[in-house]
Chains A and B, each alone.
Chain A
Amino acid sequence: MTEMNREPLLQVKNLKTYFHSMNGNIVKAVDDVSFEVYEGETLGIVGESGCGKSITCMSLAQLVECPPGRYEGGEILLDGKDMLKVSDAELRKMRGNVISYIFQEPMTSLNPVFKIGFQIEEVLTLHRGLSKEEAHKEAIHALDLVRIPNPERIVNEYPFELSGGMRQRVMIAMALACNPKILVADEPTTALDVTIQAQVLDLMNDLKKQLNTSILFITHDLSVIAEMADRVMVMYAGKVVELADVMTIFENPLHPYTKGLIASRPDMNTSSNRLTVIPGNVPDLSALPEGCSFGPRCGFFCEKCGKGVPELVEVEPNHWVRCYRPGGEDRDN
């Protein structure tokens, strides 16, 4: 495990990204989210649809479309700069060089009318100022790095000629082409088959060790988190509800939502006849309940939870929980 007293590479403080809909509703997609990413670590962000995990990560490089989105506050300190304050030119330089992204659907992330090689070379000539020949060599090298067989041939192929797993590798190659300090992977394996997912996860872990890149890994799948993350951040309805290292999350989860998520998943070794269930539905962000957003689905709901929104509190060293009754017991403060 990485030591925690180093300077963080990325520091997000009280980030708020809201969406203003046409009928005047405000959707707080990301509401007061703070976290850090240290060099060489993988921070996993887990949550269900609409919990704000993707918007959080898109906000880092200002990729959220504005309007309807709007950054309502907070700081994003990456490489010593506040990403919400830098100029557009600077921001473009940071994207790809310092922070780069891979997304869920590799087909729509690649331009279908250009060859694979051209798309990687473009990134290299743009960001690293390489000449055409250098870029070509570098592109082949990048494809080789992500273990694509016959990279010399693949550079001359079009995206549709590749399978889903191959495309995702190309995306990773492109994302890593400029040696970014942090790689944001938004559900990178969700669209892939199990055996292909295993290949891609294995590749990402190897590359991380090799290049010492930090990874921000977003997924809805807890078992992938168990596989990849050093620390885990659980999000619910736009807020961080629990943040701790991966062992703590799986062995001593304190927020009732995290507990429920872990318990409700049929493990390969579950033998009981029924699954544990979190009742109710994923809440609609434009109509959140009063008090704690998880309140209506929570088994430990008490009067206090219906009134105020609990703070994110460090209940034990490096274990943060947003709950009045973590672990089902009343908190003293």
Chain B
Amino acid sequence: MTTDNKNLIEVRNLKKYFPIKGGILQTTVGQVKAVDDVSFSIKKGQVMGLVGESGCGKSTTGRTMLQLLKPTAGEMFYDGVDTFKLSGNELKKYRTKMQIVFQDPYSSLNPRLPIYDIIGEAMLEHNIVANREEMMNKVFELMSKCGLFPEQAGRYPHQFSGGQRQRICIARALAVDPEFVICDEAVSALDVSIQSQIINLLKDLQDDMGLTYLFISHDLSVVKFISDSVGVMYLGEIVEIGSKEQIFEHFAHPYTEALLSAAPSFDPRKRNNSNRIILQGDLPSPANPPSGCRFHTRCPLATAKCSGEVPAKYEVEPGHFVQCHFAKERFAKRAENN
């Protein structure tokens, strides 16, 4: 894995608000702050995991980064260039460098097109290949790289199983030789025995082609396996971010702690674990987030301060940021106990 210390991706203060329309004239009566002031960076050749529950804005973050949704505010640097400022052909050029693989392998493939068209289309669009013959050869090559039989290139999506479809989606994303790929819950819809195949494929491709991933998932064990760094999102904000070890071994945000403890363990001996934190209540609506710290309605440690004051990002150790009033004390206490 190549890990020179260059940031390939840098997201600064990204915001994506969705207007809530109401009334007869469909005027904007409110906003859903799906992504609210999110910043992070990914080094070239590394994998960043983005975890959180449904509605926390992790998918919206990914889609806004690629401008599939129009960003409300913020900057997104690709190799030093702010892609949000680009348009037309300039943007089109950058489209080939950043790709996305979606969750649902069924709705991600146009049922009317044969596989070679699905994979090869963008190569022609961007003049990566000169003619159809060249395109075919590259399609074959990509298909074998992604574990598909090139002989099946003439088939249609419905003739493939879910896992194979996801391989096709990956091949399509790689057709334009991207350097950065967003995997938006790319393995969540697959069967257990297929998930591991796809995860291995993603890892192999990363090693082969030096890809950089943003791996969006709700599945902590998968994120822990594949990521170098991890961001934890709650209601549109990144509440804790750091290296994999920092997040999984010395987390400091109570939400991260609850999330980790809620994930069922793979060991039947560990059930009836009395240390398990079970959060009370449901996720508040992002249209009307709680005041102060957004987590305070469910947080076991919440005090009056939490509901009144928005906590600042605090760097508990180099590269490990936590957005919690008690981050400093909690982190110090843990270090003491160790």
- CB-based A-B contact count at 8 angstroms: 129
Interface residue ranges of A170-215 to B (CB < 8 Å): 193-199, 201-202
- Over the window 239-276 of chain A, the binary record of Cβ atoms lying under 8 Å from chain B Cβ atoms (1 yes, 0 no) is 00000001100100000000011101111101001111
B263 touches A222 (CB 8 A): no
A127 within 8 A of B: no
**Nearest Cβ distance between residue A149 and chain B, in whole angstroms?**
8
- Over the window 3-36 of chain A, the binary record of Cβ atoms lying under 8 Å from chain B Cβ atoms (1 yes, 0 no) is 0000000000000000000000000000000000
**Nearest Cβ distance between residue B233 and chain A, in whole angstroms?**
12
* Interface SS of chain B: helix
Nearest neighbor of A189 in chain B, beta-carbon distance:
B264
B203 within 8 A of A: yes
A273 touches B203 (CB 8 A): yes
Question: What are the 8 tightest A-B residue pairs by CB atom distance, in nearest-first order?
Answer: A266-B225, A198-B262, A264-B196, A193-B53, A48-B191, A223-B264, A275-B196, A278-B193
A314 within 8 A of B: no
Residues of B within 8 A of A199 (CB): 278-279
A305 within 8 A of B: no
Residues of A within 8 A of B222 (CB): 266
Distance, CA A254 to CA B276, complexed state (A)? 31
Of A195, A201, A223, A275, which contacts B199 at CB under 8 A?
A275
Distance, CA A213 to CA B161, complexed state (A)? 38
B307 within 8 A of A: no
Known: A223-B265, A224-B264, A227-B271. A265 touches B278 (CB 8 A): no
CB pairs A–B below 8 angstroms (14 shown) = A193-B218, A193-B283, A195-B53, A195-B258, A198-B278, A201-B264, A202-B276, A224-B264, A227-B264, A264-B192, A266-B226, A268-B220, A268-B221, A278-B197
Q: Which residues of B are in contact with A by a Cβ distance under 8 Å?
A: 53-54, 161-164, 191-197, 199-200, 203, 218, 220-222, 224-226, 248, 258-259, 261-271, 276, 278-279, 282-283
A43 within 8 A of B: no
Distance, CA A49 to CA B105, complexed state (A)? 15
**Nearest Cβ distance between residue B322 and chain A, in whole angstroms?**
19
Of A221, A226, A278, which contacts B271 at CB under 8 A?
A226
Distance, CA A193 to CA B234, complexed state (A)? 12
